[in-house]
Structure 1
Amino acid sequence: MSSVRIGIVGIGNMGTSHAKYIAAGEVAGAELAAVCDISTDRLRWAKEQFGEKLHTFETVDAMLDSGTVDAIMICNLHFDHPGTSMKAFQRGIHVLCEKPAGVYTKQVREMNEAADASDVRFAMMFNQRTNPLYIKLKDLIDSGELGEIRRTNWIITTWYRTQSYYDSGSWRATWAGEGGGVLLNQCPHQLDLWQWTIGMLPTRVRAFCAFGKYRDIEVEDEVTAYVEYPNGATGVFITTTGETPGTNRFEITGDRGKIVVEDNKLTFWRLRVPEPEFNQKAKAGFGQPECWKFDVPVGTAPHGHKTVTQNWVDSIRKGTPLVAPGQEGIRGLSLSNAMYLSAWTDDWAELPLDEDRFHELLQQRIATSRFKK
């Protein structure tokens, strides 16, 4: 097709951001054709902003059945992501879904199966996968430069939010409205990158979550999680929305050295010989292998939301491989689901996840949530 007609489901913060750059012609081969929102005020605003030719709809079904869109970007509430996606798949309409893929993996697994059975291009808006820092990090790990992974450690506490932020919507930071807190709202990008860059998921998780520790909210605003990987490596993930100034430091240790991503730099401490080889040959008790420290050049390629959207449109029009296939959204979500399950049961959560148990405990919290749809 010469141009992909895009409809946006949910014209809130992210939906508006996407609509603006598409309408401005910043995505080659795409046009903003329609928006859908339950708010008539937002639909009226969209008409004023993007012109009278824009089609507006109050329901997803009406948009999908209208014949005005070839593809949709999903920017509605977390719980609705899988259902909206599956409606589009049934009609042969392509999907780019904002994070997270959904709230619980059981529903996302159904979404992925529906995507597999369709002939559409399904992508996740994991824009950080286009960041040259993480592309280079993944390259170094995949190529064996770091050797076998031994430990991962991500401190991501730059998500500071005030009570005013949470009070801006009755659905925010509630089990019934959002389905979670910092893990589901702020951290899906990091959880995706954590597993994507190192190429594996843990076998089990032990997490400690504080619910409403710093703010008057139902859900978690502080998390410390410990994980164990199939190869014997371990990892720690720490996040919060109640701390400032924050830290964003991702450290990965292998048997050939250590890599740190921090302050928009990638620093590599590279051992001249692998640690196991040095240890086998060492005659002195306190010696260490020779180590070279250097900043790795990462390039300045375009990255961000527009890059993912362009990749998705190119995939629809030309068959270009997707940067973030939609089916991979379940991987990072399985990490957050496992952290919740561990905290709720005060025990280890094994992966693959006990999806029925997680769903049962989530529904208990939704039933007592302050937000009512």
Structure 2
Amino acid sequence: MRVRVGVIGVGNMGSAHCKWLENHPQMVLTAVADVIEARRGRWAADPSVQVFDSGQALIRSGVCAAVIVATPHFSHVALASAALKAGLHVMVEKPIAAEIKDAEQLLKVPKAEGQILALMFNQRTNPAYGAIRDWVKNETFGPLRRMSWIITDWFRAQSYFDSGDWRATWRGEGGGALLNQAPHQLDLLCWMFGRPNHVFANCGFGRWHNIGVEDEVSAILGFEGDVTGTFVTSTGEAPGRNRLEVVLDRATLVYDTREDVILIEETSVPITEAIQNNKAFQKPKTELRRFEVAGQGGQHQAVLDNFGEAIVSGAKLLAPGADGLDSLMLANALTLSGALEQKIALPLSAARYRRWLRSKQRAEKPRSQPVVAALNDLSGSF
């Protein structure tokens, strides 16, 4: 018996989830819900799929054992909480919520034994990030000294932001690139290196697009043990790149997503030793080798498969719900730092961020350009 799944929100991502559920060995699409009639209409002629005009109606119906929440950010918590309280298994699209306080509320909802709350952090399936995480955690090349990540391949045209009145607004999304595109890398950053304990960010709010939220971010990160990092992301560059550099005491790792390889430049002695013992300009000798990785992993399909396996056989989740809090807190802290032009310590007060966000929402003016509702082909984004 396959797990009966409902998809709440069948816009861009929700429609993709429906596609990934086709012919799935462990799960079957039995219901969809959307507040927009035109989107629901695509399933009107399919007798195997029940159609609802709201997520709450789908949850109450009892026709599903699990739901995927793929709606605008601010509705994630209410829908996921209702589904958990109804005894359903839940997968939430990133981010878990738009602000810390809402995420904390969701994570406090009691779950029955075996009941699952999962997140769609598909980049965790990339074997390169898994390898780097293992090397960092195990100190294979010594302790972490620095990390630097440039993710500027999230290009978006103005038409993308004009395709929904909730997009790129404080009221509708709660932020820009940090909440809509970069959550993948913010999750990986916390997963591989741990959550920073302070940040200082420069945010471009509508620097490249006619929007009020951030479309470019350059940040300095501080981690435990005086480890430093930099993080740069943008939706206004092309072609852009996704390049991670990790400096450890005995090696520098470089991974660029355009190549299926991690470059490992290993030093003959630890850098800390060389600093103390070498002659003035004597760099330690290095050896460069290539660590081949097999593509970028199973991505969304693999996380969806894992969700099904966790429900059916108790498999360990790739991205459990609790993991969503650190990356969301980091996103909120970077946004606040950029807006206030201040260094922000983490953990960030949920109440402080809520007060700031509410002030932005109250001051936000309606968009000057017309909204042209559209479903976008996301294949070029993954």
TM-score using structure 2 length: 0.92
Q: Which moved more, 1:121-130 or 1:55-64?
A: 55-64
**Secondary structure of the equivalent of 2:224?**
coil
Pick closer, same or farther for the CA change 1:185–1:371 going to 2, 3 Å.
farther
Partner in structure 1 of residue 271 of structure 2: 275
Q: Counterpart of 1:245 in 2: which secondary structure?
A: coil
2:242 aligned to 214, 238, 248, which one? 248
Contact (CA 8 Å) 1:177, 1:371: kept in 2 or not? no
State the 1:302 CA deviation: 4.7
Distance in 1 separating the partners of 2:350 and 2:366: 24
Aligned Cα root-mean-square deviation (Å): 1.6
Structure 1 consecutive aligned stretches of length 4 or more whose deviation exceeds 2 Å: 115-119, 277-282, 297-302, 368-372
Q: Structure 1 residues 233 and 115, CA, compared in 2 at 3 Å: closer, same or farther?
A: farther
Match runs of 1:277-316 below 5 Å: 277-282=273-278, 284-299=279-294, 302-316=297-311
Query: How many equivalent residue pairs?
Result: 365
Give the match for residue 38 of structure 1. Answer: 35
> Which secondary structure does the structure 2 equivalent of 1:72 belong to?
strand
Q: Which sections of structure 1, spanning at least 5 residues, go unmatched?
A: none
- Does residue 350 of structure 2 align to residue 355 of structure 1? yes
Q: How many Å apart are 1:162 and its aligned residue?
A: 1.4
Q: Secondary structure at the match of 2:31?
A: strand
Matches of 2:151 and 2:311, distance apart in 1 = 34
Equivalence for 1:120: 115
1:174/1:371 contact within 8 Å kept:
no
Distance 2:95 2:296 in 1: 25
Corresponding residue for 1:226? 220
Match of residue 28, structure 1, among 20, 25, 28 = 25
For the residue of structure 1 that corresponds to 2:51, the secondary structure is strand
Instruction: Judge which range, 145-154 or 109-118, deviates more.
Output: 109-118
Residue 371 of structure 1: how far off its partner (Å): 4.9
Residue aligned with 2:225, SS: coil
Asked whether 1:110 is paired with 2:105, we answer yes
- Once the 2 structures are TM-superposed, how far is the Cα of residue 164 of structure 1 from its aligned partner? 1.6
Q: What amino acid is the match of 2:197? A: T
1:258 maps to 2:252: yes
Who is 2:16 aligned against? 17
> 2:109 is paired with a residue of what secondary structure?
helix
Secondary structure, counterpart of 2:161 in structure 1: helix
Q: Which of the residues 178, 183, 195 maps onto 2:178?
A: 183
CA deviation profile, 1:228-265 (whole Å, cap 9, x unmatched):
11110111111111122212111111111111110232
Q: Which amino acid aligns with 1:145?
A: T
Contact 1:138 1:196 in 2 (8 A): yes
Q: Determine if contact 2:87/2:112 at 8 Å carries over to the other structure.
A: no
Aligned-pair distance for 1:46? 2.0
Distance in structure 1 (CA, Å) of the matches to 2:275 and 2:205: 45
| Structure 2 equivalent of residue 154 of structure 1 | 149
- Per the alignment, in what secondary structure is the counterpart of residue 231 of structure 1? helix
Alignment of 1:48-63 (within 5 A): 48=45, 51-63=46-58
Question: For structure 1, which segment, 69-78 or 52-61, has the greater mean C-alpha deviation from structure 2 after superposition?
Answer: 52-61
Structure 1 residue aligned with 2:80: 85
Q: 1: CA distance between counterparts of 2:175 and 2:158?
A: 16
Gaps of 5+ in 2: 368-382
How far off is 1:117 after superposition?
7.0
Cα distance in 2 for partners of 1:292, 1:46 equals 57
Which deviates further from its counterpart, 122-131 or 134-143? Answer: 134-143
TM-score normalized by the length of structure 1: 0.94
Offset at 1:370?
Answer: 3.4
Change (3 A) 1:90 1:116: closer
Shift of 1:369: 2.3
Q: 1:366 to 1:301 in 2, by over 3 A?
A: closer
Q: Partners in 1 of 2:58 and 2:82 — Cα distance?
A: 11
Equivalent position of 2:205 in the other structure: 211
Query: Kindly tell me: are residues 321 and 139 of structure 1, through their superposed partners in 2, closer, same or farther at Cα, counting changes over 3 Å?
Result: same
CA distance in structure 2 between the partners assigned to 1:259 and 1:54 by the alignment: 48
